[in-house]
Amino acid sequence: MRKTLYRSLTLILLSIFAISCSTGKNETDAKIDKIISEMTLEEKVGQMTQITLDVIGNGEGRHESKVPFEIDTARIRKAIVEYHVGSILNTTNNYAMPPAQWNKIITFIQKVAMEQTRMQIPVIYGVDAIHGTTYTDGAIMFPQQITLAATFNPTHAYNMASVTAYETRASSIPWNFSPVLDLGADPRFSRQFEGFGEDPYLVKMMGLEMIKGYEGITDSIHTKYKVASCLKHFLGYSVPVSGKDRTPAYIPENVLREYHLEPFKAAIASGTESVMINSGIINGITVHASHDIITKLLKEELNFEGVVVTDWMDIINLHTRDKIAKDDKEAIKLAINAGIDMSMVPYEYETFCDNLIALVKEGEVKESRIDDAVRRILKLKLKLNLWEQAVTNISDYPEFGSEKSARMAYEAAAEAITLLKNNNEILPLSKTTKVLVTGPNANSMRTLNGGWSYSWQGEKTDRYTEEFNTILEAVQNEIGTNNVKYVPGVSYVNDGKYFEDVEDQFANAIAAAKTVDAVILCLGENTYTEKSGDLNDLNLSANQLRLAKELAKTGKPVILVLNEGRPRCISAIEPEMKAVFQTYLPGNYGGDALADIVFGDVNPSGKLPYTYPSYPNSLVTYYHKPSEEQKRAEGAYVYESDYNPQYEFGHGLSYTTFEYSNLKVSKKEFSADETLTITVDVKNSGKRSGKESVLLYSSDLYASITPDMKRLRRFSKISLEAGETKTVSFEITDKDLAFVNQHNTWVTEPGEFEITIGGLKTKITFK
């Protein structure tokens, strides 16, 4: 009887919400306020609590299914009915599960939430589906974000997110902790591959497309094909001084604003639904306790109205890790008062709930702060239409794992793989070439996908990817097994640490090289993410370098194929390599895409989205300062800076050639808000069709803060037939040339700027 009463109450409130959605924001908020007014403090705090799935069940996912996952009725009851927990995340025991199993689990959870609790509020389930629906067996695994960045074609970011939204919702999950908009400005960082590289503009443009793919070109998260996105990790996560995850970063405010904030700012303006906070420490303050960053900057200055969620265990970390709170209770007080709406607890939820309730009762946290958090969470649940659509049915998703989506993943990989070197045009190889395929990355689906693939660290990938082709298998398909020899030479220790590798038939690999026409040497990294991916030496491993050197000594041409989450230094072997590819982490279709490029079916068109360093002690982004690239000065003393990247940002070769000419600017002098049109002709001067990313840079010649050497302002990817010329046109205003000055304000200072496209330069003057 009581249950029916509350159900009708919820339904009435929901219909009021549906009507008010069409009648304006204030009315909607008033209705949410009404739901909140019915809630007890305990129920509100429960909504702010997120736990991991293992807290309410036991067992494993399908691929180790001797003990399949089962929800424990007593544990779920305690969490959802007694503690009113409003959100659950993650997979169970770190396994991908088929959609039907997801459906079963989430149906169970929602039934408890919507039938056994007083307020009958559905749970919001969140997951990390970062390059495809990571934890759903059978979903399409795209290239990782860093790989998509190398396409310089935001359509691929849109496609990936759109397929991922569909397949995540097909798994009954409506909330995705993606995209990563952190600036990949430090190649040592273990999560370099999760972002779009070192350039803020590229990160912004790719990120915006991902959000459209997740949430809809116009906000469609109420449909069963879209998910709420979650920008992460706000703010300045990716550049700790040590290069190691979740260690201190020191970032001046002007730098934070000019480089790190821009992609987030644009994404928030585009309407993203949620933001996850940086787990690290900036300028001595753990970001989860920073009222300045969470409330003043994010919620007030950027006017972010969505949900702010913590990262994993990060409230408790204020006490246990960073020692800025003397106990859990103080940690909770600091974080909630800083502006956190939901705590990814994810285990000890009683501690979080009991302490937060006590803090409110003691007046240490205002109930209005709790109401603000709950309002944001309920609004997201309503927008996602969770009351009507708490679970989905896989039969409504005929495109799940479809050929069409697989093709998109393949196309993305094929447009990303970057040809860094091609001495004497050794590539493409003819299909009659006899090759040795060797190296630890030659026969591994795990390394093609990277971390966050079927499991957190990616170590279970090979159990799920039988049907896909490793590099070796793809090369065999391309030229026939008779033309291919395979000897690993070096192998990863697959149950060891990600950086461990050992010799594996090393001498046989060298002997085999002597019997073939060319060697395809696949080196790089095994899979990792987060702290587990911390690194002590950016050089490629000693075993791998030695394998490369010994192979080169045979005199056979060695084609180096890199498959790695971050650019590991190869300067010790690079001069001896005849050709070099960067495949990044190209996903399940990466092997096929690479083989198609090596043997000439596809013309490569990827460009590096970061600076590839030569040495671990020479880590600079392309937008470094003039003093980092100083030419030798006059006189006896050598004030010279050796700017020595292995390959520059934006570098990438094609099997054809492109010639740039006729760089024109509509006006040589311009003032505030005037639009400049910049055009350039690009000709395919070679013999085969190809794609080219046209990159427009500007350089501020003199400025009150020493200016960057150059900055990417626009890009456009075009296709050209052999002999064809296209005119590419860009528009910019003074705002595109601005920087953040020493008073932390955006300015464009009057003076000269140089515009560079494809090696052509022209000067313009801002008055």
Q: What is the rounded CA–CA span in Å between residue 134 and residue 96? A: 7
Strands 230-234 and 274-277: parallel
Q: State the helix-helix crossing angle for 542-553 and 506-513, rounded to 10 degrees.
A: 30
Report the residue number, 128 or 473, with the smaller CB distance to ligand BGC: 128
Closer by beta carbon to ligand BGC, 128 or else 564:
128
Q: Closest distance between ligand BGC and the C-beta of residue 233, in Å?
A: 6
- Rounded to a whole number of angstroms, the minimum distance from the CB of residue 402 to ligand BGC is 27
- Rounded to 5 degrees, φ, ψ at 212 are -60, -40
Residues 651/608, Cβ–Cβ less than 8 Å: yes
Distance CA 441, CA 92 (A): 28
Q: Which of 602, 694, 591 is nearest to 655 (CA)?
A: 602
Nearer to ligand BGC, 71 or 276 (CB): 276
CB of 183 to ligand BGC, least distance (A): 15
Query: What CA–CA distances, in Å, run from 335 to 213, 275, 285, 320, 760?
Result: 31, 15, 12, 14, 51
Q: Which is nearer to ligand BGC, 204 or 232 (CB)?
A: 232
Cis upstream peptide for 179 (omega within 30°): yes
DSSP characters over 410-437: HHHHHHH-EEEEEGGG-PSPPTT--EEE
Q: How far is the CB of 766 from ligand BGC (least distance, A)?
A: 40
Q: What is the largest CA-CA distance in the chain?
A: 94
Catalytic residue among 311, 328, 596, 708: 311
Closer CB to ligand BGC, 312 or 499, in the complex? 312
Shortest distance in whole angstroms from residue 171 CB to ligand BGC: 15
Nearest alpha carbon to residue 649 among 695, 693, 611: 611
Torsion sign, CA atoms 25, 27, 30, 35: negative
SS3 751: strand
Helices and strands counted in the chain (H then E) = 21, 31
* H helix or E strand, kind and range, residue 484: strand 484-487
- Within 10 angstroms of residue 701's Cβ, the number of other Cβ atoms is 11
| Chain position carrying tokens 């330069």 | 761
Which lies closer to ligand BGC via its Cβ, residue 106 or residue 442? Answer: 106
For ligand BGC, the closer CB: 44 or 246: 246
CB of 228 to ligand BGC, least distance (A): 13
Specify whether 596 is catalytic.
Answer: no
Nearer to ligand BGC, 451 or 758 (CB): 451
Query: Are residues 224 and 396 in contact, defined by beta-carbon separation less than 8 angstroms?
Result: yes
Question: Which CB, 457 or 583, lies closer to ligand BGC?
Answer: 457
Minimum Å distance from CB 232 to ligand BGC? Answer: 5
Token digits of residue 59: 């067992």
Least Å from the CB of residue 532 to ligand BGC: 10
* Nearest distance, CB of residue 538 and ligand BGC, angstroms: 22
Q: How far is the CB of 194 from ligand BGC (least distance, A)?
A: 8
**HSE value, Cβ hemisphere, 13 Å, CA-based, for 297:** 18
Strands (E), 115-242: 124-127, 175-176, 230-234
Nearer to ligand BGC, 274 or 438 (CB): 274
| Residues engaged in binding ligand BGC (CB under 6 A) | 90, 128, 177, 232, 276, 279, 311-312, 530
Residue 618 has which token pair? 């020479």
Residue among 177 and 589 whose Cβ is closer to ligand BGC:
177
| Smallest distance from ligand BGC to CB 283, Å | 20
Q: How far is the CB of 62 from ligand BGC (least distance, A)?
A: 20
Nearer to ligand BGC, 249 or 694 (CB): 249
Residues in the chain: 767
Token pair in block for residue 441: 């990355």
Q: Are 239 and 186 in contact (CB under 8 A)?
A: yes
User: CA–CA distance from 40 to each of 16, 46, 117, 119, 366 (Å)?
Assistant: 21, 10, 12, 10, 14
Of 447, 523, 564, 531, whose CA–CA distance to 190 is shortest?
531
Kindly state the DSSP code that residue 136 receives in the 8-state scheme: B
Q: Which two tokens stand for residue 375?
A: 């309002």
CB 245 within 8 A of CB 311: no
d(CA 205, CA 722): 29
> Is the CB of 232 or the CB of 299 nearer to ligand BGC?
232
Q: Kindly report the CA angle at 538 between 536 and 542, in degrees rounded to 5?
A: 90
Contacts for 169 with CB less than 8 Å, ≥ 6 apart: 224, 225, 226, 227, 392, 397
The 3-state DSSP class for residue 191 equals coil
CB 71 within 8 A of CB 56: yes
Cβ(567)–Cβ(585) under 8 Å? Answer: no
At 583, list the tokens: 């495949």
Q: Contact at 8 Å (CB) between 308 and 294?
A: yes
In sequence order, which residues have a C-beta less than 8 Å from that of residue 228 and are 6 or more positions away?
Answer: 174, 175, 176, 214, 215, 221, 273, 274, 380, 383, 384
How far apart are CB 241 and ligand BGC at their closest, in Å?
19
Give catalytic residue positions: 311
